[in-house]
Amino acid sequence: MVRSATILDPTTRRIVLALDADPRATVGGLAESLRLARGTVQSRIAQLFDGKTLRPQSVTVPPEALGYSIRAIVTAEVDQDRFDEAMVALREISTIIECVATSGQNDLLCQVVARIARVGDMQSHLTCNVEQFSQRIKMRDNVDEPREVEHFANFGAIKEARAAAAALEGLGYAVTVSRRMLFRGTLRAAKIATVDVETADRMVEEVFAVVAAHHGDYDGWGAPVIQG
């Protein structure tokens, strides 16, 4: 549905620009700086805050200030019969900072933020498991349904990546290693598993230990959402 919007006239636009530059500006200050009558400024501001023109006031904090140093753009496909339900669930995920509908193969384009887990800090990854589990529940993911779970890691030397791959294959993972730059390597280890917290923790600990033993940097895991 296309929403109708109020078209701002030149005078109101000047007031909006002045408020954007100084949100704490008073009516008197705006009237003086813009050379407008105080009554004009007062009435235009009242019109702006009619609930249809300006969005509700809030304090905007950069995600980086909250520890979310990673930004990514992701696409998603949504069952059209459950579109409204999906929108309600997505609003509850605090790490989605923008979500727009698109035409074409995908239905949504979302901007998300995430915290980076530092090298050697397994606890950060285990904490991320809890956060991801919470988000999956809000998206009505059937976390007890097995699916392919992918783990990722980076290595400073391709030979270390290959050694880690051999160890993970011995644990039942399907592993691929790709060369990155000249000597470095990236690793992808996949296994069919559920995504409940207990299973996710066990797999993270398992893969993390192998990656760390071969001087690599574990980079987290991912898996599709299966709505049940």
In-domain check, residue 37: yes
Please write the tens of the pLDDT for every residue from 108-140.
888 888 766 554 578 888 888 888 888 888 888
CA distances from 93 to 49, 84, 89, 188, 198 (A): 28, 15, 7, 27, 21
Please tell me the total count of domains within the chain. 3
Check whether 91 has a pLDDT greater than 90: no
In-domain check, residue 53: no
Residues 103 and 179 in one domain: no
Give the confidence band of 100 by pLDDT, cuts at 50, 70, 90: confident
In-domain check, residue 4: no
Residues 77 and 163 in one domain: no
> What pLDDT is stored for residue 151 in this prediction?
95
DSSP one-letter string for 11-57: HHHHHHHHHHH-TT--HHHHHHHHT--HHHHHHHHHHHTSSSSSPPP
Residues 123 and 227 in one domain: yes
Do the Cβ atoms of 223 and 150 come closer than 8 Å?
yes
Residue recorded with tokens 């001087």: 215
